[in-house]
Structure 1
Amino acid sequence: MVNKKIKNQIVKSKEITDRIAVLEIKQNKKKNIIIIQIYALTSTSEEEEKDLFYDLLEETTTEHSDKGKTVIVLGDFNGKVGQRETGEEQIKVPYGYGE
């Protein structure tokens, strides 16, 4: 969904998969903005499925990384914020799951 103020600036929109979509917006005469919206797989997904997703994301990003375009990748990366201890290193974040 796009704010109606910029609806006339939309160059194209394309659904790559149910997890990756691309929106191109005209910024000015020389420059466009590419927004790649993603919904990443969780860490519990099969490795092969995750590899296919990230390969397609890289392919999509590369395809839209032309000169004169700003590429923004955003969405739900399904990351977890928490606490982790690995040897001497300890990482603590107060708003995580503690995992």
Structure 2
Amino acid sequence: MGQTPGKHGVGFLVKKYLAKHIIGFYGVSERIALLNIKLPEYKDPWTIIQIYSPTEQAETETTSQFYQELNKTLQTYAHKNAIVMGDFNGQIGERQWDEDAIIGPLHTVQNPEAGMEKCLQALRWKIT
């Protein structure tokens, strides 16, 4: 999957007892990986997406391609219970009224950056 040896890369460490509950793993790109799992304690399956977002200094085309890929991954493979985690390489501004379900309570207020805004836009489809 990787195209640049020694750079980027995402993955998962899974406890042995949970391995049998994995429904699927998708190495979408060197920056996005997805794990679908049916956790024993939950009725519905979960999707965990691990990301490594381009930095603000990356080419606009690289950043746009990443967020398009993330959005497509969410729409194609994600279950209704989804966790998106990893290195977002971005900062967020003041919390907006519709972001309580996608931003934790301990975020740091910074000047908003375009990259994080794109990430939030990609995630919003899941909660509406």
TM-score, L = length of structure 1: 0.72
Within the alignment, does 1:26 sit opposite 2:35 as a pair? no
Larger Rg: 1
Within the alignment, does 1:71 sit opposite 2:82 as a pair? yes
Aligned to 1:88: none
- Give the counterpart of 1:62 among 57, 60, 75: 75
Where does structure 1 differ by over 4 angstroms across 4 or more consecutive aligned residues?
none
RMSD of aligned alpha carbons? 2.1
What does 1:1-99 correspond to in 2, within 5 Å?
1-28=13-40, 30-66=43-79, 69-80=80-91
How many correspondences in the alignment? 81
CA contact (8 A) 1:23 1:36 kept: yes
TM-score, L = length of structure 2: 0.57
Q: What SS is found at the alignment partner of 1:57?
A: helix
Aligned to 2:117: none
Q: What SS is found at the alignment partner of 1:34?
A: strand
Q: What SS is found at the alignment partner of 1:37?
A: strand
Partners of 1:5 and 1:27 in 2: how far apart?
11
Residue 80 of structure 1 and its aligned partner are, at CA, apart by 4.8
CA distance 1:23–1:65, change in 2 (3 Å): closer
* Amino acid in the other structure paired with 2:35: L
Q: What SS is found at the alignment partner of 2:37?
A: strand
Partners of 2:16 and 2:31 in 1: how far apart?
24
Partners of 2:85 and 2:23 in 1: how far apart?
19
